[in-house]
Structure 1
Amino acid sequence: MSCLCVLIFLLLLLHPVNLRFMNHRVPSNCRYQPTEYEHAANCATHALWIIPSILGSSMLHVLSDNQWETISAWIYGFGLTGLFIVSTIFHTISWKKRHLRVVEHCLHMFDRMVIYFFIAASYAPWLNLRELGPWASHMRWLIWIMASVGTIYVFFFHERYKLVELVCYVIMGFFPAVVVLSMPNTDGLSELMAGGVFYCLGTVFFKSDGRIPFAHAIWHLFVATGAGIHYYAIWRYLYRPDTLEGKTSR
């Protein structure tokens, strides 16, 4: 479904009327102002996933067999649902309450910050529930330090160096993957890589506002697809009742 929506959006690029769906591109030090259509798409493409993410996170909690599985389910659930909720609130305020500039600015910063914690939370079940080597085990806390550093960066340099911000997201997304790929149990790694591919492809649209109509909404769709693939991998290989391999006793 997500891929079909992306295809429809891309086809709009070939039609002359696509200009009404997109405003002109702005300088790198300014924020792009979406059209009414783009605002609506930005809200809808993440709001639709709030309820599924809450239900999915609750299912992992129910399937938890021990304390570490419960903790990991909570961390992952908060990161997943938090991403969609914060994004939806920010885009709604940006669209409907444009006079609340201070609130909108703070929510925009929060929207960027939560991405770092979403990345960390997405890795938490794998790092907490799979066997790791002596060095690799440090990634369990190192990834949260990376998320905290990213948050501090957004606080001081929000929207100032957009390319640097994008590079930070990509580095944080790939760095823990080195540890995960080295785990003795490789079940689920193909799904992890597939989800990572969607995130990487989506970054093409993340900074394409003003060049591609609905660029940010398309980015949202790639994020939702990548998150869905990663959720499936976590459910199937770490929490499903008949999947016992790879779980470690704490």
Structure 2
Amino acid sequence: MNLDRFMNKRVPSNKRYQPTEYEHAANCATHALWIIPSLLGSLLLHFWSEDQWARLSAWVYGAGLSSLFIISTLFHTVAWKKSHLRSVEQCFHMCDRMVIYFFIAASYAPWLNLRELGPWACHMRWLVWVMASFGTTYVFFFHERYKLMELICYTVMGVFPALVIFSMSEQSGLCELLVGGACYCLGMIFFKSDGIVPFAHAIWHLFVAMGAAVHYYAIWKYLYADTPSQVQTAR
């Protein structure tokens, strides 16, 4: 089977892989489809909010979730249709990488704000944003220069705050958090497989969408729909 239409040859680590036309279309579609659901889901959390902390957490999480899909779709659309505008494409690519840090921090916000997690929670609430700030700064100065380091930064950012989450006395939602995290981890295999697996980046997008969907379900079910009494009233 001839894969030339569906996948280009792998490039050296210091260069960016150039998707085929089919891959470009798949990269756009696999995140564009989730823009409207992410916006509607954010509104749903807002309507289910019991107090100002729940509303704040809903908006922060919703902004991170929606921004991830919106900016990713914009970048891949520009990379597909406006690749000749190199500075514009570069700007969107940097934003696409930066928003991942914001999304990770925003995904932890509801758990850190609305669950009783012990003494470390109050520190982790702001520490995740410090980590996100360092990550975005790193992208600004070293974008695409050290690709393995970027992957390590994303992994540390995603795993480190979970050490506090696992300490919560109320264990409901923990299974979903692990399943969603596993989706992200498995997806990383395809994130680094451009030129080896056809549509590798689009498959990575699907794993991201699955992980985000599982985590959204856990936030909605255990922090908003079922257990409003667990929302902290004093912080």
Give runs of aligned pairs for residues 24-43 of structure 1, distance below 5 A.
24-43=9-28
Equivalent residue pairs, number: 234
Superposed CA RMSD: 0.9
Match of 1:225 among 210, 216, 226: 210
Please say if 1:160 is aligned against 2:145.
yes
The match for 1:201 among 182, 186, 206 is: 186
Taking structure 1 as the reference length, the TM-score comes to: 0.92
Confirm whether residue 145 of structure 1 aligns to residue 130 of structure 2.
yes
> Is residue 209–residue 215 contact of structure 1 (8 Å, CA) maintained in 2?
yes
**Match for 1:249: what amino acid?**
T
Q: Equivalent residues in 2 for 1:1-250 (5 A)?
A: 16-240=1-225, 242-250=226-234
For residues 110 and 121 of structure 2, the distance between their equivalents in structure 1, rounded to whole angstroms, comes to 14
Please give the secondary structure, in 1, of the residue aligned with 2:161. helix
CA distance in 2, matches of 1:59, 1:135: 29
Q: In 1, Cα distance between the equivalents of 2:168 and 2:196?
A: 41
Runs of 4 or more, structure 1, over 4 Å off, are: none
Unaligned runs of 5+ in 2: none
8 Å contact 1:185–1:246 — kept in the other structure? no
Q: How far apart in 2 are the matches of 1:197 and 1:18?
A: 29
Aligned identity (percent) is 71
TM-score by length of 2: 0.98
Spell out, residue by residue over 1:28-85, the C-alpha distance to the aligned partner (whole angstroms, 9 max, x if none).
1111100000000000000000000000000000110100000000000000000000
Give the Cα separation in 1 of the matches to 2:115 and 2:132. Answer: 21
